[in-house]
Structure 1
């Protein structure tokens, strides 16, 4: 090893300030999401029982102000991540192009490293990274449910652990076919570009029929693996959505039992359902976007290998 710092890692570290700001805004956004369950809690436990229209108007105005602030912070977070993506592009795109020219990969398209980098960069500005930023704050919602009643808290905690286990299972069953599909598709694209560059030679030698047969066979294998991965991901995504909706409804049933036993109020019952739904939502979103996250991770790995190899060769 030459002791030279990893190029991609150094670029990501240079953008750390953007990600830290995004994390801070994510905390504020998730705290503001508490406005809806708190509003419902106050409506059921205070406004309905007291019949105070003034309290209802004031609570509604506060709720609207919280939602307006939430929307503004969400826009700011998206803008910060967009600037992080642009900063990464300024730091790495030229170096990736230079490395592609200096150390071309055998059989690979010359533009493949740039496409890989764009695949990763686009994830930074997509909805998937928002779910990743929101996920660490899910325990806030679980903790607040515990404050409403321990039984509701333990139910929410068990639901969260079950969905996390399903997400890990999704990674296990989708990763292999998705990687194979991506490798086969990349090889097929490279073969297509090579064939088009040598189109005159292929026509002169009468190899068009054989080329089309091989291209179709390779493309069919890639599409087959993509379909296999997509089918598995769709099953897991549907199962996780079913579990989230079921748990969000079952906690209402548990809350109704506690209301009957006069251990909580009706407002607490509905607030617990809203809190649980928000706490589980990032897990469901991440599973739904798992394919793009895996592809982005693999693309970043290829970019790292290209740049680190180039750096080592310059030593």
Structure 2
């Protein structure tokens, strides 16, 4: 944000200079009326009337030009702001949402849009015009000190009410905005779980919670609106009162002192122009408050981004993975403790353990999605979390437990939203056995996924497409989290075939989180986690034998796998 402000500082200064000219030109009507009553009416001069009218028209034309230029300049600043920060904010949102807490600067793009829109609103123009209000008051002092004091008193009261309204409404509006954001998140969660809500009769509870949040939002907005409405009403009344007092005092001075009537009228008009920016700022108070909050959040985000150190370009990874004393915690609770392992390029690791043992967590730490709070995971000797994701990503493959597809074509989904290499796309589709499925789609690989006119896939089909996406580009490190959980027999057979090919070719290092014997048969090493700690680690046969000797208690979904594997190992020894 600071970089953007430094770059565009001169343009904001230029907008300020234009505001100076605009405010000077806004005096055109005041001086026009002064000349009419002070000269034309008394002299009955047509020439003077024509002359000052032509001058006034030219001044008003320049006023329109400068107002347009200021508007265009600030609009260009808004577009530049979005182009400058939009990409970084989006990157931050995606990165943070992949973290364990699923928290990020979620309103980041909305804040950028809010600031961009604010730079084109009349509320910002009012902010630029407010500093010139004292000029109008000083000018009235030149007309007559008493009129100047009246105008100054009205200006001080107006400014005080403006600041008071901001103080009374700022926190209310901020709370309403935060509650509205929470409400949107709540509704997004409920809509994602609409089937569960309807099936289990949870609608009443959902509606009740929504109504509670919405009531709080409406209350804060209503209170803020009442304060703002009261301040605006008082200021309007003061504005009319000041006009009455200026006209009354001016008329008195005309009678007593022979004061020029033109100056009286001009002073009244100038007083209205002095108060006008405050009125516009009051009407735009909500917009200003939203822009201020958005700026503060963006400023904090930009400072965080500025602290990030640039990464150096590294060679293509070979797949040697080393985890040393890895600790990881969520919410103050350790999920992983002192987990260590070493995999040579091309080795396969079977990761097993009961539910909640930390298997999925370790898979994400191993990919560099989540950072270890102590210890490290290194790929070819480099801390994988600190490796630039854009550089490393093409060499990683990941199949999560729940595969999600993007609103793009099938080919683009498999090609990781990049420009598809159709030869590579067709190769991985054939390997995972979805070539016929894709060929049967309306537009084949160009079929749109999701959206209004796109196709939807079953859980098993999405998992196979996700596997194809993971294998696209021949990655050097694969992490497969229950890769066959939604597959039928045919899909599982294709999965085994492609993994056997990769294993034989030693083309990728692979971590498989699974409890299936068929997949564990091909692994070189096994790691069993229990309560986040290493229960057993070594070659496949060593771990299976250790489990068999210690009769390691595991949950039912794993016990059949491990014990059958142990028996198989014992039979192999015989």
TM-score, normalising length: structure 2: 0.52
Structure 1 residue aligned with 2:49: 56
- Structure with the bigger percentage of helix: 1
1:25 Cα deviation from its structure 2 partner:
0.7
Q: Check if 1:246 corresponds to 2:244.
A: no
1:306 Cα deviation from its structure 2 partner:
3.4
Residues 108 and 210 (structure 1), Cα distance of their counterparts in 2 relative to 1, 3 Å cut: farther
Structure 2 residue aligned with 1:5: none
Per-residue CA deviations over 1:63-122 (Å, capped at 9, x if unaligned) read: 111111111111111001100101111111111111111123957687521112211221
Residue number among 143, 149, 159 corresponding to 2:138 in the alignment: 143
1:193 Cα deviation from its structure 2 partner:
1.3
Structure 2 residue aligned with 1:45: 38
Please say if residues 141 and 278 of structure 1, whose CA atoms lie closer than 8 Å, have aligned partners that are also in contact: yes
Structure 1 residue aligned with 2:363: none
Mapped partners of 2:215, 2:102: distance in 1: 20
Residues 167 and 63 (structure 1), Cα distance of their counterparts in 2 relative to 1, 3 Å cut: same
Structure 1 residue aligned with 2:206: 211
The Cα RMSD (Å) is 1.9
Residues 195 and 307 (structure 1), Cα distance of their counterparts in 2 relative to 1, 3 Å cut: farther
1:15 Cα deviation from its structure 2 partner:
1.7
Structure 1 residue aligned with 2:70: 77
Q: Check if 1:11 corresponds to 2:4.
A: yes
Q: Check if 1:279 corresponds to 2:274.
A: yes
Q: Check if 1:257 corresponds to 2:252.
A: yes
Mapped partners of 2:221, 2:309: distance in 1: 38
Per-residue CA deviations over 1:142-174 (Å, capped at 9, x if unaligned) read: 111111111111111111111111111111211
Please say if residues 25 and 77 of structure 1, whose CA atoms lie closer than 8 Å, have aligned partners that are also in contact: yes
Please say if residues 168 and 227 of structure 2, whose CA atoms lie closer than 8 Å, have aligned partners that are also in contact: yes
Mapped partners of 1:87, 1:238: distance in 2: 38
Residues 107 and 265 (structure 1), Cα distance of their counterparts in 2 relative to 1, 3 Å cut: farther
Please say if residues 151 and 271 of structure 2, whose CA atoms lie closer than 8 Å, have aligned partners that are also in contact: yes
Residue number among 28, 32, 39 corresponding to 2:21 in the alignment: 28
Long gaps (5+) in structure 1: 1-7
Residue number among 291, 298, 302 corresponding to 1:303 in the alignment: 298
Mapped partners of 2:86, 2:108: distance in 1: 9
Per-residue CA deviations over 1:219-270 (Å, capped at 9, x if unaligned) read: 1211121111111111111111111122122111111111111252010110
Q: Check if 1:128 corresponds to 2:123.
A: yes
Please say if residues 109 and 193 of structure 1, whose CA atoms lie closer than 8 Å, have aligned partners that are also in contact: no
Structure 2 residue aligned with 1:197: 192
Mapped partners of 2:110, 2:133: distance in 1: 34
Rg (Cα) greater in structure: 2
Mapped partners of 1:135, 1:110: distance in 2: 33
Per mean C-alpha deviation after superposition, the further-off stretch among 270-279 and 46-55 is 46-55
Mapped partners of 1:77, 1:110: distance in 2: 32
1:314 Cα deviation from its structure 2 partner:
5.3
Structure 2 residue aligned with 1:233: 228
User: Could you say what secondary structure the match of 2:298 adopts?
Assistant: helix
Mapped partners of 1:307, 1:141: distance in 2: 39
1:298 Cα deviation from its structure 2 partner:
1.2
- Structure with the bigger percentage of strand: 2
Please say if residues 32 and 70 of structure 1, whose CA atoms lie closer than 8 Å, have aligned partners that are also in contact: yes
Structure 2 residue aligned with 1:112: 107
Long gaps (5+) in structure 2: 311-574
Please say if residues 140 and 148 of structure 2, whose CA atoms lie closer than 8 Å, have aligned partners that are also in contact: yes
Mapped partners of 1:172, 1:252: distance in 2: 33
Per mean C-alpha deviation after superposition, the further-off stretch among 111-120 and 22-31 is 111-120
User: Could you say what secondary structure the match of 2:201 adopts?
Assistant: coil
Mapped partners of 1:235, 1:109: distance in 2: 38
Mapped partners of 1:257, 1:108: distance in 2: 67
Structure 2 residue aligned with 1:4: none
Q: Check if 1:91 corresponds to 2:69.
A: no
User: Could you say what secondary structure the match of 1:240 adopts?
Assistant: helix
1:198 Cα deviation from its structure 2 partner:
2.8
Residues 50 and 64 (structure 1), Cα distance of their counterparts in 2 relative to 1, 3 Å cut: same
Per mean C-alpha deviation after superposition, the further-off stretch among 54-63 and 305-314 is 305-314
